[in-house]
């Protein structure tokens, strides 16, 4: 991408749709919405394929979306993608996301960008704006 200008949502959407991410992960169909200072927001469609028998969005989808969003937030903070690896990711599940609620909103923030380690936080809110999942994570830049 053009490093002479700040990274924008179209750049991040292009990363998201590239083979930087596994095909199975791209099926989350995340959409990059806004980037504002340290916070990146994305929309996560609540698709039937991600809803389990209990009628709610499955936790596996929430964790995958959190991890994916953070890769983009870090890329934004770095001004472009750099090889990195997730060191750890801890997710708390606060409320179920109803399977017919349309979409959830993901907000990913870099809390600290060190020389080799980056710390971040991800919030996932449901269609009514209530916090459904909260994750914290550490990445290593390679």
- Residues in the site for a second copy, rule: CB under 8 A? 18-25, 27, 48-54, 58-61, 63-64, 67-68, 83, 85-96, 111-112, 116-117, 119, 121, 131, 134, 136, 138, 140
Q: In angstroms, what is the minimal distance from the CB of 72 to a second copy? A: 13
Quick check: helix, strand or coil at residue 9? helix
Q: Between residues 33 and 59, which has the closer beta carbon with respect to a second copy?
A: 59
CA distances from 92 to 31, 62, 88, 130 (A): 23, 10, 13, 14
Please give the Cα distance from 72 to 54 (Å, whole number).
31
Whether 32 contacts 107, CB under 8 Å? no
Whether 96 contacts 57, CB under 8 Å? yes
Q: In angstroms, what is the minimal distance from the CB of 50 to a second copy? A: 5
Q: Between residues 9 and 94, which has the closer beta carbon with respect to a second copy?
A: 94
Q: Between residues 4 and 109, which has the closer beta carbon with respect to a second copy?
A: 109
Q: Bridge-partner residues for 122, per DSSP?
A: 108, 135
Q: In angstroms, what is the minimal distance from the CB of 142 to a second copy? A: 9
């Amino acid at each position: 991408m053009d490093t002479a200008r700040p990274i924008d949502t179209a750049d991040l959407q292009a990363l998201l749709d590239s083979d930087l991410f596994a095909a199975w992960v791209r099926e989350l169909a995340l959409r990059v919405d806004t980037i504002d200072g340290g916070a990146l927001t994305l929309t996560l469609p609540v698709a039937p394929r991600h809803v389990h028998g209990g009628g709610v969005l499955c936790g596996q989808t929430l964790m995958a979306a959190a991890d994916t969003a953070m890769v983009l937030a870090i890329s934004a903070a770095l001004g472009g993608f750099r090889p990195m690896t997730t060191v750890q990711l801890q997710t708390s599940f606060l409320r179920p996301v109803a399977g017919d609620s349309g979409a959830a909103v993901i907000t990913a923030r870099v809390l600290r960008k060190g020389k080799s380690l980056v710390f971040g936080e991800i919030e996932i809110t449901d269609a009514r704006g209530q916090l459904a999942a909260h994750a914290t994570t550490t990445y290593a830049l390679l």
